[in-house]
Chain A
């Protein structure tokens, strides 16, 4: 019984949150990695692109709610997703044409592109904060819990409860569906293959008649879809706050590099690696050990590796270890 209790405890406090957080990071990291693989720069505006996409989704959700449309148990924001995606695609393409294209054609140094993406970041950040304000916005509706801790306790007769929020399940399922579709697209379809070819070797791809304009357009479309989904899922799960997306960018970058920058599958796993280590190392295991160990050995302290204040430091530490020992990411492999 104690063993079961301890397993449920860990599931409730580590596995479920880490899977949710990991899914959000994975989606974001795949977006960053796609931009890096095809356009060859680290896009610092990505966090604010997610915030912009989420803002559009929120605005449209409010509109839907005001005319009385809802999805019942599911959050209304899911209907608003396509609108958000279209708006994000438009703004991404606008910034590509207005800003990034020039430097791409000039074949500027990647550092210059990073710096330029800072300019885009400032602008997107300003737009979001001017339109929706800097504060917290909650736009979650529908049922909040799939499984409540008390129900679980009554059902199983265990001491420990297991709670699953509906947003957590939605996040996980959406991520799996999105990623499966994406990987199917990249690996099986002709367009996807040409995208990979372009990312792998630009000159060879051009020689084989791949249209770079089309590939780049496609990349921005994919990236916008991912950014909208990732941003909305994060906003549903926590709440929407423009600066939170910027703060999320750092673990996303860490996940990207851990998985090998330019490698989407790596980015997917990288997201979960970061999430599990972050949550696993900041969780206080005291109760877990109380269940498992005999009474004499029970710990007095919290048995926490590092306090939650230092979540940041963990993704950084992983990043440093990876950069020093495996600069191409933990997965051996190809780009895209």
Chain B
């Protein structure tokens, strides 16, 4: 099992690298890298399902992530009752109306057989926007004018935040269903452009529909599945735990006051690490569960069918497989996982900032993870998530180090050197581009290539 060895070595190296960050920078940094690595891996597993299992090109990753984040807001934030009173009914009514209109479009599309079918659909679609504007306009205005500085939105349902991850997945799957119905019949390059545009629209909606998401005003202070630092610092068991961990170090300090001060410092610094550790555990559980399920799926008859469709669509069609339907399903499943990851990301950040969603960072970086890690291989996708995120974070210190060593003879006041140091954040894009091109050229199947499963 040479391949398995590869996997073990690769992940051991990755683990050691993160440990190194822990020793040389700090454990807080190392754990936040680890957590984002875990989230990124979930994202890249979602993309890998679409691209690696079935060859669908989805450049709308950013949009599905934002939908997951939106679900966190809608589910976990406490409701703003005043806003509900002011415009809740109006919003619900217009939501129902929108659903009815969309249903009407699909109904006409599939059931009506008139010569003018296309024109009817066209008129229906065109009329959705003005109708919605007239119907929902007053309630939106009412909601947004309530306490605009602190709320100005509907709020959510005040439910547990972990629950919202699943809702995020469902919501993303639903959007993927609608998108897939419209776009999946397209040629691969058209599909890429269409999904990219859709994600752009999702972001615009999230950014500008303030009654739902507060838009660019952001939602902060989200709930957490992990304890808060402040609570930890005041709880006896945590202080006790820290005391026993550092007992040897503490016992060396003779002065009681100083000992207490050191303990307090340790408790404060460890509480942050502890919270991150809790997150790591939750994310790791998610990732491993997902991995088990998708490995099982890959080995099942279903996985065999998906690979058959990817490798030879016509042959699969000839064997009686419904390719369009299968594509729709895998598109929905992959997007659901991306939505789940988006919800995890927003939960971890503790805030939802629609303006921060940029395609380079949230769509194409995830793609680099999948391509670099190994298309069609779940372990590869996870490794890609780890490697790429690690490089993404650590390339700034690395670039700084390189500039300083290479230009050590140059005076610090030198304009060129100053400019280079100012532009350090952009070197990571250079690294990503180079990495992507090199992998595509010399290891087109990624670091961990797909295993040929014989069953």
| A binding-site residues for B, Cβ under 8 Å | 41-42, 99, 102, 109-112, 114-116, 118-127, 129-131, 133-134, 243, 246, 250, 253-254, 257, 305-307, 309-310, 312-313, 315-317, 319-321, 323-325, 327
Contact = CB atoms under 8 A, between A and B. Distances in A.
A26 to B, nearest CB: 18
A121 B192 contact: no
10 closest A-B pairs by CB:
A122-B433, A123-B433, A126-B429, A126-B430, A119-B436, A119-B437, A129-B426, A316-B197, A309-B208, A130-B423
Contacts of A254: 193, 197
Contacts of B122: 321
Nearest to B196: A250
A124 B364 CA distance: 14
B376 to A, nearest CB: 14
Contacts, number: 131
Interface stretch (B20-28, B182-190, B314-322): B182-190
Contacts of A324: 182
B245 to A, nearest CB: 43
A246 B360 contact: yes
Nearest to B375: A115
B71 interface: no
A315 B204 CA distance: 13
A129 B423 contact: yes
B359 interface: yes
A99 B367 CA distance: 18
A12 B276 CA distance: 57
B168 to A, nearest CB: 23
Contact of A325 (B118, B183, B208, B427): B118
A121 B367 CA distance: 13
Contacts of B182: 320, 324
Contacts of A310: 201, 204, 208
Interface of B: 55, 57, 118, 122, 125, 129-130, 182-183, 186, 188-190, 192-194, 196-198, 200-201, 204, 207-208, 358-360, 364, 367-368, 371, 420, 422-423, 426-430, 432-434, 436-437, 440-441, 444
Contacts of A325: 118
Contacts of A316: 194, 197-198, 200-201
Contacts of B364: 118, 121-122
Contact of B437 (A42, A116, A130): A116
B204 A115 contact: no
Given A250-B196, A323-B190, A99 B129 contact: no
A99 B194 contact: no
Contact of A305 (B118, B130, B207, B208): B130
A11 to B, nearest CB: 25
B197 A250 contact: yes
A127 B430 contact: yes
A316 B215 CA distance: 21
Contacts of A121: 364, 433
B197 A115 contact: no
Nearest to B364: A118
A306 B129 contact: yes
A129 B424 CA distance: 10
Given A130-B420, A321-B122, A110 B189 contact: yes
A126 B192 contact: no
25 contacts: A112-B444, A115-B367, A115-B371, A116-B436, A118-B367, A118-B436, A122-B364, A122-B429, A122-B432, A123-B430, A123-B433, A123-B434, A123-B437, A130-B420, A133-B422, A250-B196, A253-B193, A305-B129, A309-B207, A310-B201, A312-B197, A316-B194, A316-B198, A316-B200, A323-B183
A126 B426 contact: yes
Given A118-B367, A257-B193, A309-B204, A126 B427 contact: yes
A126 B420 CA distance: 12
B182 to A, nearest CB: 6
Contact of A42 (B189, B371, B441): B189
A125 to B, nearest CB: 5
A122 B436 contact: yes
Nearest to B428: A126
Contacts of A123: 429-430, 433-434, 437
A305 B128 CA distance: 11
A64 B136 CA distance: 55
Nearest to A41: B189
Given A122-B429, A122-B436, A126-B426, A312 B193 contact: no
B196 A122 contact: no
A118 B428 CA distance: 14
A134 B423 CA distance: 9
Contact of A320 (B189, B194, B427, B433): B194
A15 to B, nearest CB: 23
A323 B434 CA distance: 34
B437 to A, nearest CB: 4
Contact of B194 (A41, A116, A319): A319
